[in-house]
Copies of this chain bind each other. A is one copy, B any other.
Amino acid sequence: MQRVGIKDLAKHLGISEGTVSRALNNYPDISKATRQRVTEAADKMGYRANPAARRLATGVAEAVAYVMPTRSSSISEPFVAQLLHGLTDALSRRGWDLLVVQSHAPEEEEEALKRLITSGKVSGIVLSRPQKVDPRIELLLKAGFPFIVHGRSSDSRNYAWYDIDSKAAFSAAVDHLMALGHQRIGFIGAPTYLNFAQQRLDGYKAGLLANGLTYDHDLVQIAELSDDGGERAASELLRMDNPPTALLCVTDLQAVGALAAVRAMGLLPGADISVIGYDGLAMGRHTNPPLTTMAQPQAHSGRQLGDMLLSIIDGGKPQEFQILRKAELLRRKSDGPYQTITTPQNHTLTEENL
């Protein structure tokens, strides 16, 4: 477990430290023979450059940071683990490290980011959950610091990102619902400073428009990004005089909450009321009923993000690294053809009124 340094290696080979270093870093002024000798000895003796020394000397960190979304809903982010796996995959191929940092309170957020980029700890940053206009992105842009965003802000022209086309997805979801005969489609959204919430709302509107329906503000509820949020929003919507017969939720988490709300009113999700979520949570298979959702192909998002960020750090133009993936409708059992609801609805109403 004894560390072998470049000095040991040099002494062992009878050459200078500088030569060893240059041989290992593929400098052109090293003869093939010595380069060979050095590399062989290096991995025979198990030499690994001390990263701290290397960093100090070169100024490059050989690490990137992932800014985790804020400690969010009651049900913790199921994606994070998967994303991290992908990221570490991509980075480890170069021997780079992944730092995980938390996003702080919005006020400190920028300060924290500034510290991170001046600290020299990382040479790139992965941001997630961008806001519509995100000060962090502007900061990084201005600083000229390499970064990539998981998602997009509203103006996404001049930086790198990886996103799912959720606008298209929500528009398609509306199509689907209307093809099933639904005419009144509720929307359960999230605060639109989060750009993905805006995108999905846009998709919902676009879908309505494309199908000749007019957007009815009363049919949209902005809720918390949690099951409870979805539940509250759904019961709000269903208590209307002329309630929607289908509910489109910005998130699977909200959708399962909506499912609960529907059931709580004595209605059958999928038959009386259709509910569609977004994310493709694996757990959706097990809800009651199984949740129909727009599934995003996020299997390799982490890997992609990592590779793209590395390319940018290598000098690639950020604008050339923008990937937009499509989400697919994953039909399970929470959607179904429109049908008039009679008894249970009244039943519920009388319950409400007592």
Q: Which residues of A contact B (CB under 8 A)?
A: 1, 3, 48, 50-53, 55-56, 61, 63, 66, 68, 71, 74-82, 84-85, 88-89, 92, 97-102, 114-115, 117-121, 143, 227, 256-257, 259-260, 282-283, 285-289
Contact = CB atoms under 8 A, between A and B. Distances in A.
Contacts of A99: 63, 97-100
Interface centre among A114, A283, A285 (most CB of B within 10 A): A283
B78 A102 contact: no
A137 to B, nearest CB: 16
Interface centre among A80, A85, A102, A286 (most CB of B within 10 A): A286
Interface centre among A51, A52, A287 (most CB of B within 10 A): A52
Interface centre among A79, A97, A227, A259 (most CB of B within 10 A): A97
A61 B71 CA distance: 26
A48 B119 contact: yes
Nearest to A282: B75
Contacts of A227: 282, 285-286
B88 A81 contact: no
Contacts of A259: 286
Nearest to A82: B76
A140 to B, nearest CB: 11
Nearest to A83: B76
Contacts of A89: 102
A100 B71 CA distance: 18
Given A68-B84, A79-B76, A119 B51 contact: yes
Copies of this chain, tallied across the complex: 2
Contact of A288 (B79, B97, B143, B288): B288
A68 B48 contact: no
A52 B287 CA distance: 49
Given A1-B143, A74-B282, A286-B256, A102 B81 contact: no
A120 B288 contact: no
Contacts of A282: 74-76, 227
Contacts of A68: 81, 84-85, 88
Contacts of A289: 288
A61 B63 CA distance: 14
A60 B82 CA distance: 30
A39 B118 CA distance: 19
Given A50-B56, A98-B99, A84 B80 contact: yes
Nearest to A75: B282
A118 B48 contact: yes
B287 A288 contact: yes
Nearest to A69: B81
Contact of A56 (B56, B66, B78, B81): B56
Contacts of A288: 286-289
A340 to B, nearest CB: 26
A53 B51 contact: no
A54 B301 CA distance: 35
Contacts of A76: 78-79, 81-82, 85, 282
A21 to B, nearest CB: 16
